[in-house]
Every structure is written in structure tokens, then in C-alpha cells.
Structure 1
């Protein structure tokens, strides 16, 4: 973060609800462009550790959030996913890095691969579910349309019985 002067997020009015430069709650952290981008740059990832109420006033994250500017373009569509979002990273040495996306990875338009799903699912369930439960429940979710009975999956996810 020390080499970054500013990060600009150019977004449509539909994304304004994620413009939360000074989050005050866990919900604000989860939906703050400033916090999530700052955490990604600081930690190289967004996960339960950096989306936690304890980091709300952590000076590292406060400073990181202060370097993120969200610019809402009123001329863009107010409907979600009707206008691209652009991120411009301005480095202290004058270099600029930019990228643009119309759809988020994992959306209907850009679905996750099975490997991406398994990696994310494991990342966010590790430490909550046993490895065997993670594997079996991920497989069940990936094949939801083939399940005759959701009770087995629900039981795995709610700790009412062990994986069979």
C-alpha cells in the first residue's frame, strides 16, 4: 500500500450503496468498496480475518480505506450490471494500472468454474466444517439438481449428523 497514491473506483449509481468510506458496522465493512479494496491490497485477499468488527478501527485498514476514492457517474445506468465498473490504481511513481469489468466473477454472466467454487467454498467453510463435510457438502451443492432429498445436505451444514 505504501507505493500506492490512490485507487479510484468509477461506478454507476447502482453501485453507490457500496460507497462506504468510513464503515461503522460489520455490515458496512462487508459492503464497503473502500474497505474491501484496501483489505485486498494490504492482505492479498478478502476473508473473515479482514472483514471482522475488530478491524473497523485498525489504523492499517483506516489508512488503506482513505486511499480509495469511489466516483459515482450519474450519467451511467442506475440499474445493476448495466454499466461497467473501472478501477484505476495510481502509483506514487506516476504509473497507472487500470481494469474494467461489466460483471462480477461468480455472476450468472461469468460463473465460477467448479475449481473456483470449491476453492472459495473451502476457504470460507474451513474451521467451521470438517474437511470431509466440506468435500461432501461442496459436491452436493455442485450437484443440487441431482439430489432427491435436501435433508442430508442440510444436516451436514447444521451439524446434526456426520457425513455418511
Structure 2
């Protein structure tokens, strides 16, 4: 469930991919500049996963299943991956900037707060900026840190 790096925002949940496989990777989006070779997970004591951020019809199943399956091994849910690059990667339309991301993050926080299948509410990770078109300081000016201190478990940069 989910993706990683530049594919996270386009991830979708599949209950079973068969043949004993744990993950599958699509190579269908030429707009994403990062490509990884297949890999296998071994014993992992703690895991981050993410909630896709390319649609405000939130696919909360990633948080629901992540918490139900991984329990104490889930240490955070990344919300948005390099949102400062969404425009340059063609993932959203203008105008999109720090205020737009902050408002979308607020909508996600509200959706998570209202979802009884997500018992651990303070698990979010963000903003995961990559030094794209806007700086962390521009996001801080929207009140991001103060607004979401009750939901963020990690403040991240790529």
C-alpha cells in the first residue's frame, strides 16, 4: 500500500497482488523523475508510510490499514512529498504554493480527526520540501508549524 518518493502521491491500495508478493511498482508516469529498482523488505522494526496528496478526496485507507496492520511499527504518515515541486512536475495547476499546501494539509488533518479507523492522530510527517519553488520559511509564514503541532510527529525536509 502506498508508494515512495515521487510515486507516493499516485499510490493506490490493492488488497492483494498475488503470488506472495508484498509490493509492486508501476512504471507509468514519465513526469516523475525518480526510478527505483525492485527491492525486498527484510525485518524492519519501524516504518513510515504515506497518504497520497494528489487528490483532496483523501485515500485514508493508507492510514487506516497502516495503523491496523503495522500498529506500533508505524512511526509516521508522510503527507505530501516535495509539494514545492508539484508545479514543476506537473502535479497541480497554478496557483499552488505554501498557502495552498497548508490549506490542503489542514483538510487532511480534519479528515483524519473525523475517521474513527485512525486511532493514532498525531502521526503526520511533513512538509518534506525539496528546495523547489518555495522555501521552508515561506511555509512557516502560513502558520504551518503552529497550526499542525498537534498532528505532526516529524517535520521533514527532503
Give the TM interval when normalised to the shorter protein.
under 0.3
Whichever of the two has the greater Rg, that structure is 1
TM-score w.r.t. the length of structure 1 is 0.26
If each structure's helix is expressed as a fraction of its own residues, which one has the higher value? 1
